Chain A
Amino acid sequence: MNNLEFIIFISTILFAIGIYGLSTRKNAIRMLMAVELILNAANLNFIAFVQYLHPTAIYGQLFVLFVIALAAAEVGIGIAIFLSLFRIYASPEVDIVSKIREE
């Protein structure tokens, strides 16, 4: 196993942990953290591939910058929605909306 395969392996593990957290947790902030793990796995893949396979290309680092900007925007919106829901329903869990609506 060389360095590139090792980094792809690490990125896969990171992505899988993110999927696991996203599918098992109910807390909204914990789900946002899981989304961050998934985005960082994608970023790690971008950097590793462009540095090992085509190190003179600019585009890998460029797209990582765009992903970081969009992730920051996503966290901002997510936290705002979370605070708004928490003010209304007084619970940090995401299924409280459908639970209350069913009752």
Chain B
Amino acid sequence: MAVDPILFALAIIVIISAILTIETKELMHGAFFLGLLLVTLGEIYILLGAEYVGVIQILVYAGGVTVIMLFALMFIPRKEAVERGETIYRALGVVLTLGIISLILLGIGLTTKNIYGGSKIPYKDLAITLIMQYEISVLAIGLVLFATIVAAAYIAGERRKKYE
């Protein structure tokens, strides 16, 4: 079976915006291309039938993470937000990347079934499983996020007296 053309188009957008995320000179443009990539990945999730995760991806990732990055970029001066192009390890990075690609592609088996279709799970079951079976994990995630807020405020907070 051939590849779905919509999926192919979305995948092309994902790959191009991923390359541009890493390779653009201006960090601000990189952040915008990261947002484009995250929204397109959310569309791929919706196309694959995982609508709930797709919506969460667009809301939390593209809406939250990208805005945090843009917010941090606004704090630094504009001349610092441009990549200076001094990348010593570029050849090493290319070799490492090609090696990893070939290793993973060698490892992927060819016997994969193809069951294409919409979501087969009712989202009520997802919520019930999340609350009943994974309650410890949900609580742990909540604690981690709370600790993140406190730690981020502590790390980035004002400590002028100590360093002046």
Contacts and interface: CB of A to CB of B under 8 A. Distances in A.
A16 interface: yes
A60 B115 CA distance: 16
Interface in A12-58: 12-21, 23-27, 29-30, 32-34, 36-37, 40, 43-44, 47-48, 50-53, 55-58
Contact of A25 (B22, B76, B108): B22
Interface string A56-97: 111011101110111111011101111110111001100000
Nearest to B125: A58
A3 B7 CA distance: 8
From B11, B38, B97, name the one whose CB has the most chain A CB atoms within 10 angstroms.
B97
Given A6-B11, A26-B86, A62-B130, A21 B21 contact: yes
Interface size of B as a range: 35 or more
Tell me the dominant secondary structure on chain B's binding face: helix
Contact of B121 (A13, A44, A61): A61
A100 interface: no
B114 A76 contact: no
Interface residues of A, number: 71
Contact of A65 (B1, B53, B81): B53
B101 A51 contact: no
Contacts of A70: 141, 144
B65 A66 contact: no
Tell me the dominant secondary structure on chain A's binding face: helix
21 contacts: A2-B2, A6-B3, A13-B101, A20-B97, A23-B96, A23-B97, A27-B83, A29-B73, A30-B27, A32-B69, A37-B18, A40-B37, A47-B50, A50-B50, A56-B121, A68-B61, A73-B144, A76-B149, A77-B152, A80-B155, A91-B80
Interface of B: 1-4, 7-8, 11, 14-15, 18-19, 21-22, 27, 30-31, 34, 37-38, 41, 44-45, 48-50, 52-53, 56-57, 60-61, 64-65, 68-69, 71-73, 75-76, 80-81, 83, 86-87, 89-90, 92-94, 96-98, 100-101, 104-105, 108, 110, 112-117, 119-121, 125-126, 129-130, 134, 137, 141, 144-145, 148-149, 151-153, 155-156, 163
